[in-house]
Structure 1
Amino acid sequence: MPTVNDRSNRSQAVWLSCLASGFRAALACTIVGLLTLYGPPSLRRQVAFPAFSYVTVILIVTDATLGDTLQGCWLALYATIQTVGPAILSLWLIGPARFTSSTTALAVALAAYVVALPEGTHLIAKRIALGQIVITYVIGFINGEHTEAVFHPMHVAASTAVGVLACVLALLLPYPRLACREVKQNSKQLAENVSERLKLYVKAFCAEDNTSALASISQAKSLAIGATKLFQNIKRYQESMKWERLPFRFLRSYYMNPVEKLQDLEIPLRGMEMAVSNSTLSYPVRLLNGDDQLLKEGLHGLEEHVCSIIMKQVNNCDNNPVSTVPESNAESVTKSLQTLQTSQLPTTTQDLPFYFFLFCMKLLHSKSLPKPTTSPTTTHVKDHVLVKKNNDEKLQNGLSFNWAMKVNTKRLVPAFKCSLSLGLAVLFGLLYSKENGFWSGLPVAISLASAREATFKVANVKAQGTVIGTVYGVLGCFLFERFLPIRFLSLLPWFVFTSFLRRSRMYGPAGGISAVIGAVLILGRKNFGPPSEFAIARIVETFIGLSCSIMVDLMFQPTRASTLAKAQLSKTLGTLHDCVDSMSLDHRDNNNNHNQADNLVENQKRLKMHVNELGRFIGEAEVEPNFWFLPFHSACYSKLLVSLTKMVDLLLFSAHSVRFLEQQSPNKIEASSKIDSDIELVKDIVGSSIKCFEEVTMVKSLAILEKELEKKNISYDVELGKSSSTNPNKVSDLDENAMEKIMSCYLQHSKEEIVGSKIQGGDGDEKESQLVLSLSALGFCMQSLIRETKQIEEGIKELVQWENPSSNINLVEISCKVHALYN
């Protein structure tokens, strides 16, 4: 388990991060306050909307680096160009005095549609542009004939510029917060995390009893959660690094990012966890024929070598990665690798986890080694590809006007949804209170999402965040009514507190940002009337805006997340069936002449995407209100997700094994054909069951299925599905003895393959050992695929029983009914 020291270090890191984020946000808001309250009169006249300056600060500076802020400068400029020009033209042609509540809402809706429609525009740019649209048109309508068609939009642009300037200064003072430094620090922590997990897995493998092994495994699982967070942090800061290259070229060394190499190491680490966690592995682990102590020494030596390579690659700051193994270590590493060589296949399936662990250990070692130096020609080609990739990324990040204005037909509905929700929010907000009408549209504008969200949860946390932020602002004004500087100082603890809110599961980014804005808009301004009255008006207007947003969301995405989760489960099972079907030792695919390993990897990537999408829908469905619907069976879906995730990893390990076997056995021989027949048998068992599960999950209700059968007068033969040859769920009839028999045949055929393909030469022993490990790893994967299929069967049964509580669930019978109805 994690030590007290580890927990203390993590807590300290979170505190420091929140303090730093809160300090810079408070500094940026203080700069805005100083400029808008104490700046030169000429500047204050231009910055007519300090509230939007604060909003701009919160949109850009929240947990930002200097790279984020520099990108925010460009995005704010791009958003201003998008909105100010058309706004000046509209106000000049129509005239602010002619606007009504309905025409103002229509103008806001049309302008919002134009902004939301392009696919390539960055989300921050869209939020700033939508906020500018609300301020420009609604306040133009409120001021009526006193609104100047040209200078009014320019004042909105000036207010945005002040917010952007404050963000840049806050990220530079007292020293710049660089994304490259954040990436380097997180990469170092990640390398330490990977090294520590490797040590724990080796320690568990070499443990003398189950208790010691379980303790190490538990600690490694805890570290794996931390590794996921570190990967997310690095990915989040990688985009910002690109914006720091130009002004900070002298820090070129910081841009060496080893995260891809570290991410490759995650795959064998997950395999090692599977091996040591396998129920059939008994401790202490014993070699079939060899010296146990020598094996452990070899594992520890290889572990130390891999850890040293990882740390050197992370700590290496020049552009030349570690390319060689130190001579002093070369001999010991070779000796360590030799201890892992074995020419004897496992005699029983209980030994497969042992060999799979050694396979993953060697895979980890090969992935940790640096790539060989490329030739100048190859380097030139890679540079050309890198430039093209960077240009493509720039296009996708709103750096090209041509791409940003490109319209995708899939964007029509989301753009119309954004337009309608913003237009309705402005309309009802103005009808309720003309003076404060823009506060109903502004929360909707600045919270535009790029993808589907949990509508009710997000609206709930936004409302709660707005209320608690507003209440804090009112209390601050009450306590420090005559001391404006102290009011700004009171923002610092609030920013720190909301930094924790943003990281919490309860509120998240949406609730945290709403809480920040709620307090800043009261504490950072003056001459807006009694704070309590303004607070009540703003809370009501925010409620109006959120209600309109919820209503439009329900109109355009009425399908519940739980329904989408079940549909995605069916798609995932279908993709899993295709993935399992592509497992083979045939060296070429007749359709596209690709290696079977390559086909398996491609299908595995598609499966991984579907599993990730399923996880997203499950997360949304868990926080979705039930109302009068059947409650979402979160526990069952979570179990299914765990099994599917394991199968994704197992299929990838199968691809690694198949690739090596393809390389070592280019010519098909009789023994290989026997192994292939064993693989086909496992594919048939797993594939048929997965197909059955897919068909069962596509049934919305058993009662509806029965009615359809009666309506069409269709009969079905359940007994036909019970025979071993036609049973669609073959894994249900497979007990431990039958599975043991299948795997024993596979091991026997693998032994014949080893004997029949003796490799001559100096490296023959090494290749033979790798052949043994690859065949053993493939056997472990097939055995584990069958076990996970059984777990999925139990989960599907539980899910169908949950949805049909009065029915007796028989998956084979349901599958037969589906076949009878649709075939």
Structure 2
Amino acid sequence: MVSATRMGWTYAVWCLILRAAFRTILACTIVYTTTLYGPQPLRRLVAYPAYSYLTTILIVSEATLGEALRGFWHALYACIQVLILSILSLRLIGPAHFSYFVSSLAVALCAFVVALPGATHLMSKRIAFGQIVIVYVGTAIHCAEADELVLMHPIQVSLSTMLGASASVGAMLFPNLFFYQKASLAAVLSPYLAYDEVRQMCQKYAENARKRFDLYLDAILSQDSSAALDFILQAKPLAEVGEKLLRSIEHKQEALLWERPTIRNILNRSRFSVREKLQEVEIPLRGIAIAATSCPSFPVAMIKKLQADALLDLKKRIHDKLEQLEHFAPFYTRKKKERSLDEAFWSLETISHEDLLAFFFIDCLKILQENTEAVEECKHECSGIESSSGSQNQSNCCAKWSCRLLCIIPSKTSLRFAVKCSLSLGLAVQLGFLFNKREAYWAGLTIAISFVRGRQATFTLANARAQSTAMGSIYGILCCFIFKKVEDLSFLPLLPWLVLTSFLRHSRMYGQAGGISAAVGALLILGRRHYGPPLDFAIARITEAVIGLICFITVEILTSPVRAATLAKLKLSLGLGSLQECIKDLVLFDNKIASVGPKLRQKQNKLKSHVNKLEKFIEEAQLEPNFWFIPFNGACYDKLLRSLSNTGNLSIIMSNIIESLSFVLQCSELDSEELRKPMKGIEKDLEIFKKKIGNSLQCLQELASNKSLAVLGKHDIESGTLSARENGSRVSDSDKEETECLVDSFLQNSNELSDKIATMTGLIEDHQKLRGQVTVCLGGLGFCISSLLGLGELKEMEKDFQELIKLEHPSSM
């Protein structure tokens, strides 16, 4: 089954890559035929086919119709910006006064103006940077044609850009005749829609979640360890595929709004993004996975006490709901959750140490059941929604406008980005002029599409671009010599090359940067004519590209001198701080639980953001050269990332359990003096737990922030104090005793509360149900406390920190 899962995922990826390659070929063919065989007036207007190809590759790569429409809008916005800036500057200064230095200065200033607004999309800025380079370098080269250049030159650049953008949209409108996985006629004849792709990915995710759920449940119900281990191993690749599907869904969901504006109403009604809604299925599934992998032996003792039919019935219900989700995802909303417990679990009355894991498993099952049963199909007729939400939209209008105004005001990050773009492009163009005046475009164009907000693996990306540019240029030269006598067929060798570059974009060695550069390198030679000898052009372009990349690397180092390894450590520290805040906000039996919930969810989202950025920085740090620095220990950071992610998942599940427990007790309206004593005891135990975890996380945060690396031996992570320990990797006996005492106290208070509920007057059936709900919640909460305080993820993080510091600071150990 593992090999079948991987083969299925590989087949799906191949279909996506080949489909993207087909669309790229189609878009480039439109540009090729228009610029070489179109009417003469049109060819005179689109005088820069090289930039048409570049725009096409930027937009069409792995795009859907929605993304192509978005790219078209960004290209149009870039054209308007550059037309205004270039025509004003050419009128004020005069084209004849544009020397090489003045042109380089104009490129730098205009790039700064374009890059400064924080609200402008990065795609629009990249396209505008390329246009700025062509306009001002062309003005410096052809300054004798002063009168014509003032208007025609920027217009030709803009029209060439829009040709590439239009070709991208045209390619997306072509029916799905090839490499489509569904055989329905409507799907095959429709354009390449993000709507269909997101729907397919959501359906695949629902199917993936259903299979994982079945495997984890089969593992828990297994009668021997070997069978359980086999089920867990089968679920592992499925979990990896599920995470990839969630990321792909998040990447594509913005394109939905460009294809079907009415979808905005559906997404607004649910108030959550598609990925966030699917996370409500993913988090309890991860909890079930933790329960399955934490079982010390099989069969699980308490599971044997339950009725097998009850678990199978619950499995069938969740299974059916996941199948429903598979049919109408991603366009569904969530009705109000009904917090209830299956009648088969009402008989659970006593919590013991041995049964904590089983209670946690049942809790995760209950959360998954609640989240899936709260799902209902979202109809496309949204008139009722619009009328009911009109007043709310009006009340939020001022807030939205204030946010937009804040986006226009440049931040420090935007200012730093603008300075980086300005210096890189200005310096690249100036040095490009010094080497080859007529081919100075390529020094600036090579890096115009390289800029990103924030950090990137500068050396790795520059290396990939340089190698790919050389490969594409050499391939183009070889094909030119082969098809020297039949120039009309010179475009044919581009077809297999564009397919190859689509695969290069998904490779770890070259990535998006290398794939785009390789495609453009061949297109500029095989897709154009009348640019001189191909060999001379290729040598000049490769040299100019290297000049631009050297300028790019130099300015990147000067403006962002901090290494990715340092940022990974900083992000790890921030993640630990966010986790500490999430655990600090866990509140039991609080009447203000409804107001605490949204704040806690914000902090949980912040924690997820830190975890995602930490993963990104770890990947970047593994790619950047070490130079004279200590080698980056990627394996150790991967372990820390996994532990932080698992601890974060446990904290989210804890918050769901606590919210459910508080809700159940509030709805029961039990306000007896006899219940207050055990409830206060449970609250006290939770406060002690939060304090111990908070202190431990505080110490780990100090280690991650380099505040006390040299005194690791003095850190007692468990107690959160600075006291000497003979062996930093072993939990002291006193710490174990404290943890056991805390868990014992929690279990004692929980069982006392359960017994008190059973003795309350009223309907016996209601008390049995309430007692079962409270017992299951408290048992799951007890597992989380025991897991986090015992030899769980925090202890794993402590060991990983010790290993990391041993390598980075051997003298401190």
- Is TM-score (shorter-chain normalized) higher than 0.5? yes
1:801 aligns with 2:806: yes
Separation in 2 of the partners of 1:171 and 1:12?
22
Q: Which residue of 2 aligns with 1:640?
A: 640
The letter of the residue matching 1:157 is: S
> Structure 1 779/246 Cα, relative in aligned 2: closer, same or farther at 3 Å?
closer
Name 1:710's counterpart in structure 2.
Answer: none
**Aligned equivalents of 2:750 and 2:76: distance in 1?**
65
TM-score, with structure 1 as normaliser: 0.87
- Secondary structure of the corresponding residue to residue 763 of structure 1: helix
Q: Which residue of 1 aligns with 2:363?
A: 359
Q: Residues of 1 paired with 2:704 and 2:273: CA distance?
A: 43
The Cα of 1:353 is off from its aligned counterpart by 1.3
What is the letter of the counterpart of residue 657 of structure 1? I
Describe how 1:674-713 pairs up with structure 2 within 5 A. 674-699=681-706
Alpha-carbon distance between aligned partners in 2 of 1:724 and 1:522, rounded to the nearest angstrom: 64
Cα shift readout 1:260-295 (whole Å, capped 9, x = no counterpart): 543210011000000010043x2112337835xx23
In the TM superposition, residue 99 of structure 1 has moved relative to its aligned partner by 1.6
Residue number in structure 2 paired with 1:463: 466
Q: Which moved more, 1:779-788 or 1:101-110?
A: 779-788
Match of 2:312 in 1: 300
Cα distance in structure 2, aligned partners of 1:559 and 1:630: 14
Map 1:360-509 → 2, pairs under 5 A: 360-370=364-374, 380-382=387-389, 406-509=409-512
Partners of 1:167 and 1:285 lie apart in 2 by 57
Q: Give 1:336-347 correspondences, 5 Å limit.
A: 337-347=342-352
Distance 1:278 1:512 in 2: 43
Deviation at residue 428 of structure 1 after TM alignment: 0.5
Matched residue type, 1:649? N
Aligned length: 774
**Which blocks of at least 5 consecutive residues in structure 2 are unaligned?**
176-189
Once the two structures are TM-superposed, the CA of residue 596 in structure 1 deviates from its matched residue by 5.8
CA contact (8 A) 2:757 2:767 kept: no
Give the CA deviation at 1:754: 0.5
1:237-252 matches, within 5 Å, as 237-245=252-260
| 2:220 equivalent in structure 1 | 205
Deviation at residue 67 of structure 1 after TM alignment: 1.3
Which AA in structure 1 matches 2:704?
Answer: T
Instruction: State the distance in 1 between where 2:18 and 2:704 align.
Output: 48
Which SS does the other structure have where 1:665 is aligned? helix
The verdict on how the C-alpha distance between 1:584 and 1:12 changes in structure 2, with shifts beyond 3 A counting, is: closer
Against the structure 1 CA distance between its residues 610 and 300, is the aligned structure 2 distance closer, same or farther, given a 3 Å change threshold? same
Alignment correspondent of 2:795: 790
**What is the Cα deviation at residue 796 of structure 1?**
1.8
User: Which is worse superposed, 101-110 or 233-242?
Assistant: 233-242
Residues 47-56 or 257-266, more deviating: 257-266
Once the two structures are TM-superposed, the CA of residue 258 in structure 1 deviates from its matched residue by: 6.3
- What pairs with 1:41-190 in structure 2 (closer than 5 Å)? 41-147=40-146, 148-174=149-175, 175-190=190-205
Amino acid at match of 2:699: C
Corresponding position of 2:280: 264
- Residue number in structure 2 paired with 1:24: 23
Q: Aligned partners of 2:198 and 2:665: how far apart in 1?
A: 43
Deviations 1:605-635 (A, max 9, x none): 3333333332222222111211011111212
Q: Residues 300 and 261 from structure 1, CA distance in 2 versus in 1: closer, same or farther, beyond 3 angstroms?
A: farther
Moved more, 91-100 or 772-781: 91-100
Q: What is the deviation of 1:784?
A: 1.5
Alpha-carbon distance in 2 for matches of 1:395, 1:755:
54
Structure 1 alignment gaps of length 5 or more:
707-716, 809-823
Distance 1:277 1:385, change over 3 A: farther
Change (3 A) 1:628 1:216: same
SS at 1:669's partner residue? Answer: helix
Closer/same/farther in 2, CA of residues 542 and 317 from structure 1, 3 Å limit: closer
Q: Which moved more, 1:98-107 or 1:141-150?
A: 141-150
SS in structure 2 at match of 1:149: helix
SS at match of 2:150: coil
Tell me whether 1:609 sits opposite 2:612 in the alignment.
no
SS at match of 1:559: coil
- Confirm or deny that 1:286 pairs with 2:301: yes
**Structure 1 residue 669: Cα displacement:** 0.8
Secondary structure at the aligned position of 2:311 is classed as helix
Answer with 624-633 or 560-569: which moved more: 560-569
Deviation for aligned residue 1:570 = 2.6
SS of the aligned residue for 1:287 comes to helix
Q: Distance in 2 between matches of 1:494 and 1:482?
A: 21
Superimposed CA distance per residue, residues 152-202 of structure 1 (whole angstroms, 9 cap, x where no aligned partner): 111111211221221122111245111111111111111111111111111
- For residue 649 of structure 1, what is the aligned residue in structure 2? 649
Q: CA deviation at 1:514?
A: 1.0
Deviation at 1:513, TM superposition (A): 0.9
- Secondary structure of the 2:2 match is coil
CA-to-aligned-CA distance 1:479-511 (integer Å, 9 cap, x gap): 222334432222222122111111122221111
- Conserved 8 A contact 1:312-1:322: no
Matched, 1:543 2:546: yes
Cross-structure match for 2:291: 275
Correspondence for 2:181: none
Deviation at 1:446, TM superposition (A): 1.7
Q: Deviations over 1:427-460 (max 9, x none)?
A: 1111111011010000111222122111111111
How big is the shift at 1:654? 1.3
Q: Against the structure 1 CA distance between its residues 461 and 385, is the aligned structure 2 distance closer, same or farther, given a 3 Å change threshold?
A: farther
Instruction: Give the match's secondary structure for 2:342.
Output: helix
Quote the Cα distance in structure 2 between the aligned partners of 1:728 and 1:573. 23
Equivalents in 1 of 2:704, 2:720: separation in Å? 23
Deviation per CA, 1:506-547: give whole Å up to 9, x if none: 221111111111111111011112212111111111111011
2:211 and 2:334 map into 1 onto residues whose CA distance is 21
The Cα of 1:594 is off from its aligned counterpart by 6.7
1:763 partnered with 2:766: yes
Query: Letter of the aligned partner of 1:352 in structure 2?
Result: L
Residue by residue over 1:718-775, the C-alpha shift from the partner in whole angstroms, topping out at 9 and shown as x without a partner, is 7999999985999942565654443233212210111122364343322221111110
Q: 1:535 & 1:637 partners in 2: Cα distance?
A: 42
1:770/1:248 CA distance change after superposition, 3 Å: closer
CA distance in 2, matches of 1:496, 1:129: 28
**1:317, distance to aligned residue in structure 2 (A):** 8.6
Aligned twin of 1:580: 583
1:695-719 CA distances to partner (integer Å, 9 max, x unpaired)? Answer: 333336867x89xxxxxxxxxx979
Does the aligned pair in 2 maintain the 1:586–1:596 contact within 8 Å?
A: no
- What's the TM-score, normalizing by structure 2? 0.88
Q: Distance in 2 between matches of 1:382 and 1:162?
A: 40
Look up the SS of the partner of 1:806 in the other structure: helix
Q: Report the CA distance between 1:409 and its aligned residue.
A: 4.4
Indicate conservation of the 8 Å contact 2:117/2:409, yes or no.
Answer: yes
**Secondary structure in 2 matching 1:489:** coil
- Compare 107-116 and 572-581 and name the one that shifted more: 572-581
1:130 positional shift: 0.8
Identity over aligned residues, as a percent?
Answer: 40
Deviations 1:648-684 (A, max 9, x none): 1111111112212222335561111222232233233
CA distance in 2 between counterparts of 1:25 and 1:719 reads 57
Taking the aligned partners of 2:514 and 2:367, their CA distance within structure 1 comes to 44
Q: Distance in 2 between matches of 1:682 and 1:425?
A: 58
Structure 1 pair 777/721, CA: closer, same or farther in 2 (3 Å)? closer
CA RMSD of aligned residues (A): 3.6
Q: CA deviation at 1:355?
A: 1.2
Secondary structure of residue in 1 paired with 2:28: helix
